[in-house]
Structure formats: C-alpha cells, structure tokens
C-alpha cells in the first residue's frame, strides 16, 4: 500500500517534470520567434490543462503555497486569444456556472505569473518561494 502510494508520487513527479520540460522547450521555440508570444501562450494553456487534470497533487500543493489575491485584471483571460466568455466590462460570463478548472487555479506557479507579465499584466498572486528568491537577489544587488 505504502509502496503503491510512493510509486504513484514518483510517477506524478515525473509527469510534472515532463510537462515542465515540454513547456521549457516550447518557451524556447517561442523565444526564437522573437516578439511572437504564440507558442509561449499555447504551451502555457496546454501545460495548465494537463496539470489540472493529471497532476492534481502538484496543483493542490502550489495553491497552498500561493499568496495574494486576484486583482480582476483579466490578463489571464487574454492569453493566446481573448476568451469568448469575457464580458465587455471584464467579467466572466460563465463564473459559477461552468468556468474551466484551468481558470479557477490560475496562476498555478511562477511560470503562469511570468506569462501574464509577458503581456504587461501584473497578477495579484505570488508564491512564497519566489518572494524569498526575490528578496535574496535584492540583498545581493
Ligand atoms: S472562462 Fe472566464 S475566467 Fe476563464 S478565461 Fe474565460 S472569461 Fe476568463
Ligand atoms: S492575471 Fe492574476 S490578478 Fe489578473 S485576473 Fe488573472 S488571476 Fe486575477
């Protein structure tokens, strides 16, 4: 029983690692296309889709480490394309009805925050470990 859980955890960790490597490859491809953010957002959306469905432990852990709050800026509703459910006043027309899981958990990790930043947005969430990283790099500077 214990071994099965351990193996499942290892499998889940490998899956998350594989998704993250794929994301990095696609992000590099995106970079090579200069200012085009198409691949960056395509890979970001694909990554979130896989994570929410197949790596729920990772998503749960990330959400428990996440701090801050949604500023309702709508940046995450405009990645790759403007979501058809986005209303003219910046609301979500499917909120509380059938809002996709990937929307509910955004941002899952720092990559998502960076993706929003690449569009000029500033997500209201942040991750504890990233805050520590930032304060360390500021001290070094
Ligand atoms: S479904 Fe709602 S929360 Fe998700 S991207 Fe569209 S407008 Fe935004
Ligand atoms: S980018 Fe962050 S702050 Fe802006 S709407 Fe999405 S979750 Fe909220």
**Domain ranges, ordered by start, for the chain:** 2-140
Pocket test for ligand 2, best of 41, 68, 69, 72 (most atoms within 8 A of CB): 72
Q: Match 């309702």 to its residue by tokens.
A: 72
Q: How many whole angstroms separate alpha carbon 16 and alpha carbon 75?
A: 25
Pocket test for ligand 1, best of 52, 103, 115 (most atoms within 8 A of CB): 103
Average pLDDT on 53-77 reads 95
Residue 68 is predicted with a pLDDT of 97
Residue 78 is predicted with a pLDDT of 95
Has residue 107 got a pLDDT over 60? yes
Of the given ranges (28-37, 100-109, 114-123, 129-138), which has the lowest mean pLDDT? 129-138
Has residue 139 got a pLDDT over 60? no
The mean predicted confidence, pLDDT, of the chain is 84
Q: How many whole angstroms separate alpha carbon 25 and alpha carbon 15?
A: 15
Beta carbons of 15 and 55 less than 8 angstroms apart: yes
pTM of the model: 0.75
- Torsion sign over Cα 10, 26, 48, 121: positive
Average pLDDT on 4-15 reads 76
Question: What residue owns the CA closest to ligand 1's atom 8?
Answer: 77
Q: How confident is the model at residue 30 (pLDDT cuts 50, 70, 90)?
A: low
Beta carbons of 66 and 107 less than 8 angstroms apart: yes
* Ligand 2 atom having least distance to the Cα of 106: 7
Token pair of 130, please? 């990233």
Length of the chain: 141
Average pLDDT on 72-78 reads 94
């Amino acid at each position: 029983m214990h071994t099965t859980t351990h193996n499942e955890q290892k499998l889940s960790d490998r899956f998350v690692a594989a998704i993250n490597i794929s994301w990095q490859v696609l992000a590099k491809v995106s970079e090579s296309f200069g200012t085009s953010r198409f691949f960056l957002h395509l890979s970001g959306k694909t990554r979130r889709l896989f994570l929410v469905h197949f790596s729920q432990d990772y998503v749960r852990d990330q959400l428990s480490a996440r701090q801050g709050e949604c500023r309702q800026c709508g940046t995450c509703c405009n990645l790759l394309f403007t979501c058809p459910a986005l209303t003219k006043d910046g609301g979500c027309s499917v909120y509380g009805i059938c809002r996709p899981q990937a929307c509910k958990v955004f941002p899952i990790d720092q990559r998502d925050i960076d993706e929003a930043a690449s569009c000029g947005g500033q997500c209201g969430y942040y991750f504890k470990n990233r805050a520590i990283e930032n304060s360390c790099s500021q001290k070094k500077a």
